[in-house]
Structure 1
């Protein structure tokens, strides 16, 4: 109690969140309730970056105490935006956080180098999102000496996401198709509504005549590892991709260990990582920016709840 009171008196929101998570982990109901009441006065979705992140982490903790992680996450899904709205929010997030763009551009550079002499290219993207990663690659391939290759992208998204259910994959395909036409790149897109835990080789449409690039953009940290289930879906997927013998495989991943099973370490890793994300947004978007709260709620808050609250195999792609 003394340590918690000291944190609160100093206005140490991160420290207080940690103490609350520790109380939850220790099943200390009285301490948890008291810390939640204090945290509710410290967080704000329109305040400093740490206050905004704190608001969503606190919301997840409160909901978890009331019900199971999976039902919390399903409840959040019910408030999903439409496909076009989410595309807009994801684009804003991509532009506001430079390390997303840096990671994607680095992956694109590796792919471009690996297929520089190929005429037929197949890219399997295990988390297509809004497809923004491929804009610069399509542009570069269109300007390639000797002419562009024929490009086929298989874009995978979780079938449980409202983005996939509301036609988001089709929107991404249309957008990339128009872009490819603009740059003179022969193009084909296939959206695949698949959980990464259910992917099989025959579902990927691999052709021997095509150079193959496999892309893992911020996806593996969602997948349960051996600490969660003996099935170890993450390693199964990696072994499957190895069997495909791709020309190149690219991995963009955050520096946070969120695959681990224990709640408290996962809470700390998530809090530290997403604080940097919220701080990046604060630099790029004014706090009165009309879409900032939507971006944080729909692109980040769900991710935070998914990683922190959902246990084991319930922790899936946001």
Structure 2
């Protein structure tokens, strides 16, 4: 139970104490002729408190169970969830013609055009026009409608907050009222089953690491922003079954300090969970947490050894680093991080990025976000039934919060500053990194996996030495590998 309790957003033991204290106060505050009445009332309080405690304990048990599933059996869990989604989608398609319903909605109103027009009005400070357009958008938006209606529901909240000047306040409120760990895990599990994006990213990471470890016995992974560490658990599982025996593994996890509207993960606690995984897998394992801003971490902090393979990994986290739009007179944190990685001289730096450009203005950022989230919402509409309540949580909660932040916030309140992969290419090369060629057998295997297991609209392709992922021709994510420029080619 301890592993699950670490991640609960609130301290349940203190909540239990509060309930007990409350009952004690209630029982001691009454006397005299009302004693029997108070005794009955006290019993009601005890009953309600007992039920509340029981619910909290059940939630802890559920979180613990799901963590174990995701850490130890993520592949099996993913396959089962994918099969269940296929059955659900097949059942839904028999009930109604989704395509005709969607087309009827689009014939009535073009919500995406209205969203762009509203954003233009907001950017021009034309409040009257913006309010009128927003009224039309909200009239047709719906959290349970088609993909465009659901997208409009999210974007309307962001536009309204920006129009009213409450974006920063609303974002801080969302952070304090973030969903529970159980809700996050359920939504993550659904997203994992619906799309190939995370699965391909993790498989790519594992295959690159396994190639780097050929003939080697010691591995040191430097992982930026490990979140809940599920990708590392998957890697440990594969390493443990390596032909020739498992290597010694050390993970240095660099804690992500950015606030998000999802449950907070504690890097040290992730280490305990990964250590448990390693013991179960029979893998020699060490964990080192560095609780510093990413741009502050240097080679001296890593405790590296000459006889270990050093792998630096970033799984979609560098877009949270500030860029030149915030730091005008100083090097941007992302450039500092890349320079530090070059100085680490890793055997390989594995980079996975979110591929859309936020530009330098609100309007360009809005268009980039609209492009990105439109593709994601379309993907979810094609792979998850509309009646699925977890889909609403995933869209309106987690994805919706990201969209709201991109639209309503500015400056230090802006969580993500994504760039397209070609922009990262220039940035990496400027930092003294050299891109490694894609390995054809890895690309081939990933393409086959996506083709066999996922919807036919999922894109996986190549451009230069980047592995690209997307939906219906829209590139949403990209992956590549790098070394320091002065490291000799092999």
SS at match of 2:242: coil
Tell me the distance in 1 between the aligned counterparts of 2:260 and 2:355.
27
- Is 2:322 the partner of 1:211? no
Instruction: State which drifts further: 44-53 or 174-183.
Output: 174-183
- For residues 141-191 of structure 1, give each alpha carbon's deviation from its aligned partner in whole angstroms, at most 9, with x where no partner exists: 112122111222233443354789855545543443333333222223344
SS at match of 1:118: coil
Q: Residue 58 of structure 1 aligns with which residue?
A: 156
Q: Residue 76 of structure 1 aligns with which residue?
A: 174
Q: Residue 402 of structure 2 aligns with which residue?
A: 303
Q: Residue 5 of structure 1 aligns with which residue?
A: none
- For residues 73-131 of structure 1, give each alpha carbon's deviation from its aligned partner in whole angstroms, at most 9, with x where no partner exists: 21111221233442332232222221222122212211221223332212122131232
Q: Residue 185 of structure 1 aligns with which residue?
A: 283
Change (3 A) 1:215 1:78: same
- Is 2:243 the partner of 1:155? no
Whether the 8 Å contact between 1:222 and 1:307 is mirrored in structure 2 is: no
- For residues 199-234 of structure 1, give each alpha carbon's deviation from its aligned partner in whole angstroms, at most 9, with x where no partner exists: 455554545453221111112223332243233111
SS at match of 1:46: coil
Q: Map of 1:1-318 to 2, 5 A cutoff?
A: 10-161=108-259, 168-169=266-267, 172-230=270-328, 231-258=331-358, 260-316=359-415
Change (3 A) 1:166 1:316: closer
SS at match of 2:159: helix
Alpha-carbon shift at residue 13 of structure 1 (Å): 0.9
- Gap runs ≥5 in structure 1: 1-7
Tell me the distance in 2 between the aligned counterparts of 1:267 and 1:60.
10
- For residues 225-257 of structure 1, give each alpha carbon's deviation from its aligned partner in whole angstroms, at most 9, with x where no partner exists: 224323311111111111111111111112211
SS at match of 2:360: coil
Whether the 8 Å contact between 1:125 and 1:155 is mirrored in structure 2 is: yes
- For residues 47-81 of structure 1, give each alpha carbon's deviation from its aligned partner in whole angstroms, at most 9, with x where no partner exists: 11121122111101111222354323211112212
Report which structure shows greater RCO (CA 8 Å, sep ≥6): 1
Structure possessing the higher radius of gyration over alpha carbons: 2
Change (3 A) 1:241 1:284: same
Tell me the distance in 2 between the aligned counterparts of 1:191 and 1:298.
29
Instruction: State which drifts further: 49-58 or 221-230.
Output: 221-230
Q: Residue 87 of structure 2 aligns with which residue?
A: none
Tell me the distance in 2 between the aligned counterparts of 1:207 and 1:262.
45
Tell me the distance in 2 between the aligned counterparts of 1:136 and 1:265.
37
RMSD: 2.7
Change (3 A) 1:110 1:300: same
| TM-score of the aligned structures, taking structure 2 as reference length | 0.58
